[in-house]
Structure formats: structure tokens, C-alpha cells
Structure 1
């Protein structure tokens, strides 16, 4: 579904743009249809930047991106517009992902209206159906973000992404702001939806146990590079790269800290 080769991004700043931060360096991977790739690494290693490169939210300095067999590397904004519904992102902070002055219903149907995929009536019906699919009552449709819990907001954000019928869903720390009991519920909802729709997931997380349970393959990122890529089970049980070994040891020693 998605394949990247040699993806790189350097940020410049400071006096006369003299400072350089090589956020992503020569990254390559592929995610088949209906499968999940987990992306792990310490904070600041380039995971979120990589996700935004993959979604074409920021331009890459080098490398290629194929989506559904199309080379979209050099696509313009106009060329990307028809593909935008198929490339969706679930943000790390669900409480900041919804407009505080919009009801759940307004937030859910806004993408449909923006992309002219449905009118208000059809969008409302779809929103109600998706809320039920993610385990929420339609009673919250007319509530505002401050009137619902963090777990409910995260499910609304998931439902909103699903209104676009995406082919690729990037999950950027989707459970980091949730209680442990709610985390399991949200991830189970996502697993069910993936089985039903065949969506490909890029799962970014500090929680290596969650990644092992949810992803078929895991990529370990360190200082902008993928230093190890393999089956999630092998990464956890028999890591090969020195950094991966340190990461696994640290997670096993402090599992709760890693997921904060």
C-alpha cells in the first residue's frame, strides 16, 4: 500500500540557516495492504517527522514515495487532493485534535463536506454509524470536547478518520494520553476495523509491547535512521542492533515510563 525508499529530510535554522538537523536520513520500508508496521525509538529520533513525510504533509529533500502503486513523490497540492481522504492521521493528543467550539457531529462531518463526499444529511447518518462501530453512543453527537472523556474523544478522532475510508492510517502515539484500561479498548477497536476494511497502519509508539502485539513488523529508529527492521516478535526477543538491545532493555526495566 505504501513504500518509501531513501527518504531524507533536513531542517535548517539559526543565523543564515547555518544550523542543520538531519531529522530523517535514508529511510526505506514498505507496508502491505491490511498490515501494520510499528515504528519505535526515543523521543526526537524523527518518528513524527517521518510520518508527516509519508503523508506528504511536508516535502522530502530526497527519496521516493509510492502509494497504491503510484509514485507520488513529486505530486503537487492539486494532484494530492484526490488522495488526501485515503491518507489519514490520528494525532497523539486527542484533546487538541477537535475544535473546542464544534460539536462531535460537526467535527465528524466536516471532512466529508470539505471533500464533497457527502451532504449534511448523509454525513450525519455515516457519523452515527461510525460512532457505533467504535463503541460510542450517538448521544454524544451534540456534545462538545470538554463534555466527553479523553477515551471518547480518541474514538471520535478514529471515527472521523474512518469517514474518509482511508487506505493508510498513521497512528502517532494513539494511546499515550489514555488510561491503561482505555488503551486496550481503543486498540481492539482499531484491530477490528483493520480486519474489516483492510487498512494499512503505521503505528508510532514508545510502548514496545503494544507494538509487538499490534504490528507484524517493527522498525527501530535512531537519530533519523532505521537501524533495525524485522518481525515484531524477533525485535523484542532477539534484537540485533546495539541500540535496539538498549531500547528493549530499557522498556523491560521501565515499561510504564516508556508509555508516558
Structure 2
């Protein structure tokens, strides 16, 4: 279980939220929505250990998140190219945490020819598939999916969420889907809904 207890976070001493408490279970897709600027991305980054806390704590199975190694909570960016080294080819990016088996790469629809390309040579949907597979190579307990399909067409959006739904169930991974898309969350959420 991923928990936030009395969480407070923000920027320049100004909190976006305070006293926030929530619990997310593994094997479920949870939804986080709210108006623009409410702190959805900040909360997602805080849950992944990527944003400093102004108060409270984030716990995974009752213990603090580790600060090194393959982190058990992986954060997926809305724009995946920002999380990739532009000088690395896709093969090296995928192997950053651990080598990815060929069968798993193929199951994600990642063609072998993509492995020799650089991030800027792939489309947004292709990059998001690479980003998800790289995060899964770290064997996470949770994925924080921050507006990951917001800029994709309807078909790519549906394909990625079908894939993530199946992975959530089969690998017992909890997912926090952050979205401002009012139509998306009701279709994919199997756990709790949170609004900031």
C-alpha cells in the first residue's frame, strides 16, 4: 500500500495542499483530478519521492521510500521525452534500469527498428510505450501516470490504457492516473478517486 499521511507540499514556501492523507492499493488504478494549478503533478511527484515535502510523510507498506536503486514508485511524465537522455538511443534508454526481454518489448508493440533511434525520432505514443516499459523494468509496486495520454490521439490513448490495465492486474501494480480529462478516469479507474 502507498500512503500519504498529513502531506504538505508546494513551491517557495507556498503550499499547494496541506494535511492530505490518502491510501492507494496495489493491483488497482486510482484516479486523481482537479483544476489546473491545484497540485496534481506536485502530489504525483511527491508520492514518487521526486518533490520535497513541507510536511507529512509518504510510506510504502509502512516504510519510507528508498532513496537509491530501482525505486518502487515510478513516475511517468506527460511528455516522456523530458525523462529521456536525448543523446541515448532507445535500446540504452530501455535498459537503463534492467535489460528488457525481447518478448516483453514485442508485447508493448515496440519495434526492433525503434531501438536504434533517438527519442526525437519517435512519436509521442511510441515514446510513451518506451517510457512505460522502462519504468516496468524497475519492477515497481506503483506507477504515477501524470497525464500520460493527454496529448495522444484516441486510439493511442485507448491502447496505452488497455495495456496498463492488464499490467496492473497481472503484475499487481498500483497506478495513480492523474488527468483533467473528465471522460477518461471513469473508464479506467478501478480503485479510489481523489480530487484536489
Superposed pair shares fold, TM > 0.5: yes
Aligned match of 1:5: 5
Please tell me whether the aligned partners of residues 105 and 127 of structure 1 are also in contact (alpha carbons under 8 angstroms).
Answer: no
Please tell me whether the aligned partners of residues 107 and 160 of structure 1 are also in contact (alpha carbons under 8 angstroms).
Answer: yes
How many residues were matched structurally? 195
The match for 2:111 among 124, 133, 137 is 137
Aligned match of 1:45: 38
SS of residue matched to 2:97: helix
Please tell me whether the aligned partners of residues 29 and 165 of structure 2 are also in contact (alpha carbons under 8 angstroms).
Answer: no
- In 2, Cα distance between equivalents of 1:153 and 1:52: 20
Equivalences for residues 7-156 of structure 1 within 5 A: 7-12=7-12, 20-70=13-63, 72=64, 79-82=66-69, 84-112=70-98, 123=99, 126-156=100-130
Q: CA deviation at 1:49?
A: 0.8
Q: TM-score, normalised by structure 2?
A: 0.92
The higher-RCO structure (CA 8 Å, 6+ apart) is 2
Q: CA deviation at 1:110?
A: 1.9
Please tell me whether the aligned partners of residues 28 and 169 of structure 2 are also in contact (alpha carbons under 8 angstroms).
Answer: no
- In 1, Cα distance between equivalents of 2:111 and 2:82: 22
- In 2, Cα distance between equivalents of 1:154 and 1:186: 8
RMSD: 1.7
Aligned match of 1:16: none
Higher-Rg member (1/2): 1
Q: TM-score, normalised by structure 1?
A: 0.70
Structure 2: any 5+ residue segments left out of the alignment? none
- In 2, Cα distance between equivalents of 1:127 and 1:106: 13
Please tell me whether the aligned partners of residues 4 and 21 of structure 2 are also in contact (alpha carbons under 8 angstroms).
Answer: yes
Aligned match of 1:115: none
Aligned match of 2:180: 206
